[in-house]
Amino acid sequence: MAHPVLVVGMGGSLRTPSTSLTALRVAVEGAAAAGADTDVIALSRLDLPLYTAEHGVPPAARFLADLVYGADALLWSSPTYHGSVSGAFKNAVDWLALLADRDPPYLSNKPVGMLTTAGGVQGLQAINSMDFIVRALRGWSVPLVMAVPRSTRVFDADGNLKDRVVAEQLHGLGAEVTRAALQFRAEGTCDYAEGGLRGSVLGET
């Protein structure tokens, strides 16, 4: 039997408890229930410095980049901050610049499932920000997304998810990401055709 796909979740806010970290863990459970091997990178535990290429590569950034590179698929979770992702989340994905020289580079051939928790009802703005980033990094945005609104009603004061329907939806997202990863494995890569799209789309002609 083929080995399971590896789904890596990354995100959460820097506060404790973090509802976006809880939501991420629930989605990752869904991936595990669908047969994936899983791992979670809680950004609050990474202690990443702000991105710069000037002073060498900090171990936390190397750890993040290696784990992401080894994943078949990703789950991204950020709190909605000011109509976008948090600065901490954006800083983490900026460190994925370390994957520029890998083969294949960045997030090539990796499906990425996206979720957010928001105090209000405009979490889709954070999802859209993530979508731009995924595509900039050559990843594949999974169409099913989860923007959990009104987080104080959905999570208790300890950050536990108390809404069963939301839990089921997050499980569904984890399962969908796993399904996409399996399909990528079965059907091969989706690399740009040599000389075809590459020249015109990426401006290399």
Return the residue of 39, 51, 60, 83 that touches ligand FMN, per CB under 6 A: 83
Q: Which of 40, 64, 99, 118 binds ligand FMN (CB under 6 A)?
A: 118
- Is position 9 an interface residue for ligand FMN (rule: CB under 6 A)? no
Site membership for ligand FMN, residue 80 (CB under 6 A):
yes
Alpha-carbon span 106 to 123, nearest angstrom:
26
Q: How many residues does the chain have?
A: 205
Q: Helix, strand, or coil here: 79?
A: strand
Span interacting with ligand FMN, options 2-10, 11-19, 38-46, 166-174, rule CB under 6 A:
11-19
Residue 3 makes contact with ligand FMN by CB under 6 A: no
Bridge partners (DSSP) of residue 84 are 81
Listed in sequence order, the residues at least 6 apart from 56 whose beta carbon sits closer than 8 Å to its beta carbon are none
Q: Is 124 in the site for ligand FMN (CB under 6 A)?
A: no
Phi, psi of 76 (to 5 degrees): -110, 135
Q: In angstroms, give the least distance from the CB of 146 to ligand FMN.
A: 13
Nearer to ligand FMN, 13 or 178 (CB): 13
Exactly one of 119, 124, 128, 172 binds ligand FMN (CB under 6 A); which one? 119
Site membership for ligand FMN, residue 120 (CB under 6 A): yes
Q: Does 129 bind ligand FMN (CB under 6 A)?
A: no
Q: Does 147 bind ligand FMN (CB under 6 A)?
A: no
Estimate to the nearest angstrom the gap between the alpha carbon of 88 and the chain centroid. 13
Which whole-number Å values give the CA distances from 14 to 66, 71, 83, 193, in the listed order?
Answer: 21, 23, 18, 41
Beta-carbon contacts of residue 135 (< 8 Å; ≥ 6 apart): 141
- Applying CB under 6 A, the residues found at the interface with ligand FMN are 12-13, 15, 18-21, 79-83, 117-120, 122, 151
